[in-house]
Structure 1
Amino acid sequence: MCRNIKPLFNYEPAVTEDEIRAASLQFVRKISGFTEPSKANEAAFEQAVRDVTIVAQQLMNSLVTNAEPRNREVEAQRARERNAIRFGTKES
């Protein structure tokens, strides 16, 4: 599950709220062991996702760097190339 959590800092355009929430959801899923929580745990699960999202947003807002922003398309191409090598598939 955590392989789906992507680095979010220093991209142009900047990370969106949806991307931060998606990463937060994956994190909470991983540490709780639930893909979908039961009704009994749903409120606690959703609260955890909200809390992690808030903290992650605060982190993104407070980080600084002198490095050039990364390009999403270039990073996606690099990931495809790594996957092609790792899994022996052709690039698309």
Structure 2
Amino acid sequence: MADRRKGPTVCRNIRPLYNFEPPADDDEIRAAALQFVRKVSGFSKPSQANQEAFDRAVDEIAHITHHLMDELTTTAPAKDREVEAAKARARSAERYATA
């Protein structure tokens, strides 16, 4: 559940993709789409009977995400990937620190 004081949280495996320098590439968008489909379907690897629907959902979500990234606008400066990664490592170290 989201901590309302800090704002909504995102599933740890799905990373924000917008307003980064360099911009999110096709592989990052597809990975996020795959994580989303895995999360909502409950499958990490679907059965053969569900594989086609699973793959189609990943393709469609990746496609729509590309459109979303292309249409969003902001006046905020782009975030630096290395700086954001360092912040994430610091949060992780704090979260998993031993007492």
Asked whether the two chains share a fold, i.e. TM above 0.5, the reply is yes
Structure 2: gaps (5+ residues): 1-10
| 1:27-42 equivalences in 2 (<5 Å) | 27-42=36-51
TM (normalized to structure 2)? 0.87
| 1:24-63 equivalences in 2 (<5 Å) | 24-63=33-72
Residues in 1 aligned to 2:39 and 2:51: alpha-carbon distance in whole angstroms: 15
Which structure dedicates a bigger proportion of its chain to helix?
Answer: 1
Q: Give percent identity, aligned residues only.
A: 55
CA positional deviation for 1:3: 1.3
Q: Over residues 5-64 of structure 1, what are the superposed CA-to-partner deviations in whole Å (9 max), with x where a residue is unaligned?
A: 100000011110100000000000000000000000000000000000001110000000
Which AA in structure 2 matches 1:81?
A
TM (normalized to structure 1)? 0.93
1:68 aligns with 2:70: no
* SS of equivalent residue, structure 1 residue 88: coil
Residues in 1 aligned to 2:85 and 2:97: alpha-carbon distance in whole angstroms: 17
Residues in 1 aligned to 2:91 and 2:62: alpha-carbon distance in whole angstroms: 29
